[in-house]
């Protein structure tokens, strides 16, 4: 049967299908990440507005922090589901996460609302785990665990409650939640260290076996 001039050509049976085009940097996942980065200085300005202890300004600061946390929940998931993973997103997403959380922790400690040791423990953990991932990246990637995701959620809620001007049982509740966040921070760090050491040991053994 002869094909008409407008009929599409049949794919060559032995020729592999063309790979889908790589996603551009301007996609919804990356835009959400950029929004989170841009919210960092906005959040800091709102947190310290009018001396840093005005309940109204603290409520507005909490709103900006909440928006940043919500974008964190959606950008990575959208990138994976929609095939929008880019090199920019891989670098910018963790930077945005640590920037907004670090700004909140340091800001709250500067204002005297959160003990400095809590800020030091959490930031040291985040920096240490990031460096450790690079230390073992040639042998494999350490996936985020359920404990790590629970830690992130607990930290986000606890820090958000500290941004608000809370009193009474709510203030007590946020202190308890922050204590749980610190425990999860330390516990998951130890778990990641164990995974990293095991991954590096197994990778090194495999390299020696191939020689």
Q: What proportion of the chain, given as a percentage, has pLDDT over 90? A: 42
- Report the chain's mean pLDDT, rounded to a whole number: 81
Tell me the per-residue pLDDT of 42-93, one tens digit each, with 9 for 90 and over.
999 999 999 999 999 999 999 999 998 888 776 666 556 656 556 666 676 7
Helices (H), 145-168: 146-163
More confident residue, 86 or 135: 135
List the end-to-end C-alpha distance of the chain, in Å, as a whole number. Answer: 59
Q: Residue 150 to residues 69, 108, 164, 183, 188: CA-CA distances in angstroms?
A: 14, 22, 22, 11, 10
Q: Which of 45-54, 125-134, 172-181 has the lowest mean pLDDT?
A: 125-134
Which one has a higher pLDDT value, 126 or 92?
126
Instruction: Work out the average pLDDT over 121-147.
Output: 78
Question: How wide is the angle at C-alpha 102 spanned by C-alphas 98 and 107, nearest 5°?
Answer: 160
The tokens for 121 are 């423990």
- CA nearest neighbour of 58 among 70, 66, 69, 46: 46
């Amino acid at each position: 049967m002869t094909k008409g001039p407008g009929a599409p050509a049949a794919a060559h049976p032995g020729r592999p299908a063309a790979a889908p085009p790589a996603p551009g940097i301007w996609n919804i996942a990356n835009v959400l990440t950029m929004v989170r980065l841009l919210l960092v200085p906005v959040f800091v300005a709102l947190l310290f507005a009018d001396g840093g202890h005005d309940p109204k300004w603290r409520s507005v600061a909490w709103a900006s922090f909440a928006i940043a946390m919500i974008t964190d929940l959606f950008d990575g998931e959208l990138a994976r589901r929609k095939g929008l993973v880019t090199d920019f997103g891989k670098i910018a997403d963790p930077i945005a996460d640590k920037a907004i959380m670090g700004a909140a922790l340091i800001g709250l400690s500067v204002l005297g609302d959160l003990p400095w040791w809590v800020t030091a423990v959490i930031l040291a953990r985040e920096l240490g785990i990031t460096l450790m991932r690079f230390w073992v990246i040639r042998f494999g990637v350490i996936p985020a665990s359920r404990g790590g995701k629970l830690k992130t959620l607990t930290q986000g809620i606890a820090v958000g409650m500290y941004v608000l001007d809370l009193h009474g049982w709510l203030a007590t509740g946020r202190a308890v939640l922050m204590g749980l966040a610190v425990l999860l921070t330390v516990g998951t760090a130890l778990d990641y260290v164990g995974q990293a050491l095991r991954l590096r040991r197994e990778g090194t053994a495999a390299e020696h076996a191939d020689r």
